[in-house]
Structure 1
Amino acid sequence: MKFELENSVEVKDKIRSFRAAILPIGAVEAHGPHLPLGTDNLLATRLADKLAERTESFVLPPFSYGQVWSLRNFPGSINVSNEALIRLLADIGESLYQQGFRIFILLNGHLGNAVALKEAARMLYERVPELKVFYFFYPGTKEVTAQVREATAAHSTYMHADEIETSYMLYLADEYVDMTKAIDGAPQIPFEADFTPTPWEEMTSSAVLGDATLATREKGEAIIERSLEVMTEIVLRAKKGIMN
């Protein structure tokens, strides 16, 4: 259910019934020639809707800006600091707790936000320890991703506008994908990139870290549905604990 479409007369009882709120968090950044700047927002929002249906949770209005330091110099990218993101998410979480929510799900569509989400969750643990905070970024998908992937991953940790993320989009938001413009990004990632700040223009001119031409809806469905299974199980277990 969309939280922003509720009214203040009826929402109080619904909060007491649902207890869980999902905040889709994305970013505005370059995603190559075949995907829009708001790819991470689309993925987070569509995924949040599916998770909400399975867990009877509210979906909050999305937070559409993220920490995109690595891609900040690409056309269209908008960067916010970790510090700003942490404080804003912590404030939202505390406000949700005061409204009666007891589960706060940070559903992340952009890996660059991971540090800020974890720190915001820790801050909320100190402020309102009764609020259970989860930060999700496609959990439980390592094995299925390895099974469906055709190309060798450009990096052991992150993917971007490549075979995998483009497959996510083909499953969740295919109307925004132009596969006629998909490319094989073939980035040149230096070994030291994992140990020192490295703007991505030093290793790619397209922001595509892999072969997007290999993306399919079926690959995206397999990975996304596995992630939904994992998240659903975690959230429902938490809701059961709160209700007991």
Structure 2
Amino acid sequence: MKFELENSVEVEEKIRKLGAAILPIGAVEAHGPHLPLGTDNLLASRLADKLAERTDSFVLPTLPYGQVWSLRNFPGSINVSNEALIRLLADIGESIYHQGFRLFIMVNGHLGNAVALKEAARILYERVPELKVFYFFYPGTKEITAEVREASAAHGSYMHADEIETSYMLYLAGEYVDMSKAIDGAPQIPIEADFTPTPWEEMTASAVLGDATLATREKGERIIERSLEVMADMVLRAKKAI
């Protein structure tokens, strides 16, 4: 259910009934020649909709800006600070708590937001301990991703516009993917990149960290559906407790 389409006369009772609000969080940043700047927003929004269907929850309007420091110098990227994102997320969480929600689920489509989501959740834990907060970034997908992946991962912790993320898009928002423009990004990621600030233009000219040509809708479906199972299980168990 889309929260923004409700009216103030009827929404109060619906909040009491459902109890849970899902906030999709994305970013605007370069995703190579085959994916749009709003890839992370599309993924977060479509994933949140599917999770809401499985858990009978409200979906809040997508938060479309994120911390994209690594890609901020690529054409089209829009960066906000961790500090701004943390404060906004904490304020949203506190506000929906006062509206009557007791479960706040942040569905993240952009790994760069992870630090801010975790910190916002900790702030809310102190401010409004009765509000249960989840911050999700494709949980439960490590094993299934390893099964479907054909190319080696460019990095142990993140993927970007590659075989995996492009497969996500083909499943969740395929109408925005142009596979005729997909490339093998073949990034050169130095070991120092994990230990010192490293703008991504130093290791890739395309913002594609891997072989996007290997992406398929079927791969995306297998991974996404597994993650939905994991998320829905946690949310439904939490709803029973509120």
TM-score interval for Structure 1 and Structure 2 normalised by the shorter chain: over 0.9
C-alpha separation between the residues in 2 aligned to 1:112 and 1:18? 30
The answer on 1:46 being equivalent to 2:42 is no
The answer on 1:138 being equivalent to 2:172 is no
Matches within 5 A, 1:4-83: 4-83=4-83
Seq. identity, %: 88
Residue-by-residue CA offset, 1:93-115 (whole Å, 9 max, x unaligned)? 00000000000001000000000
Please report how far the alpha carbon of residue 25 of structure 1 lies from its aligned counterpart in structure 2 after TM superposition. 0.1
Please name the residue that 2:121 is paired with: 121
SS across alignment from 2:35: coil
Please name the residue that 2:171 is paired with: 171
* Corresponding letter in the other structure for 2:171: Y
Please report how far the alpha carbon of residue 73 of structure 1 lies from its aligned counterpart in structure 2 after TM superposition. 0.1
Please name the residue that 2:237 is paired with: 237
Please name the residue that 2:187 is paired with: 187
C-alpha separation between the residues in 2 aligned to 1:119 and 1:191? 27
C-alpha separation between the residues in 2 aligned to 1:30 and 1:214? 19
The answer on 1:107 being equivalent to 2:107 is yes
Please report how far the alpha carbon of residue 157 of structure 1 lies from its aligned counterpart in structure 2 after TM superposition. 0.4
C-alpha separation between the residues in 1 aligned to 2:100 and 2:57? 13
Q: Mind listing any 5+ residue stretches in structure 1 that lack a counterpart?
A: none
SS across alignment from 1:222: helix
Deviation beyond 3 Å, 4+ runs, structure 1 = none
Please name the residue that 1:215 is paired with: 215
C-alpha separation between the residues in 1 aligned to 2:97 and 2:135? 16
* Corresponding letter in the other structure for 1:178: D
C-alpha separation between the residues in 2 aligned to 1:152 and 1:56? 37
* Corresponding letter in the other structure for 2:184: D
C-alpha separation between the residues in 2 aligned to 1:14 and 1:191? 51
SS across alignment from 1:168: helix
SS across alignment from 1:173: helix
* Corresponding letter in the other structure for 2:202: E
Please report how far the alpha carbon of residue 46 of structure 1 lies from its aligned counterpart in structure 2 after TM superposition. 0.2
C-alpha separation between the residues in 1 aligned to 2:106 and 2:56? 16
C-alpha separation between the residues in 1 aligned to 2:62 and 2:46? 10
SS across alignment from 2:114: helix
Please report how far the alpha carbon of residue 78 of structure 1 lies from its aligned counterpart in structure 2 after TM superposition. 0.1
Give the alignment's TM-score, normalised by structure 2: 1.00
C-alpha separation between the residues in 2 aligned to 1:62 and 1:17? 22
* Corresponding letter in the other structure for 2:73: N
Please report how far the alpha carbon of residue 135 of structure 1 lies from its aligned counterpart in structure 2 after TM superposition. 0.2
Residue-by-residue CA offset, 1:205-236 (whole Å, 9 max, x unaligned)? 00000000000000000000000000000000
C-alpha separation between the residues in 1 aligned to 2:133 and 2:191? 35
What is the aligned length? 242
Residue-by-residue CA offset, 1:18-57 (whole Å, 9 max, x unaligned)? 0000000000000000000000000000000000000000
C-alpha separation between the residues in 1 aligned to 2:109 and 2:191? 26
C-alpha separation between the residues in 1 aligned to 2:185 and 2:213? 10
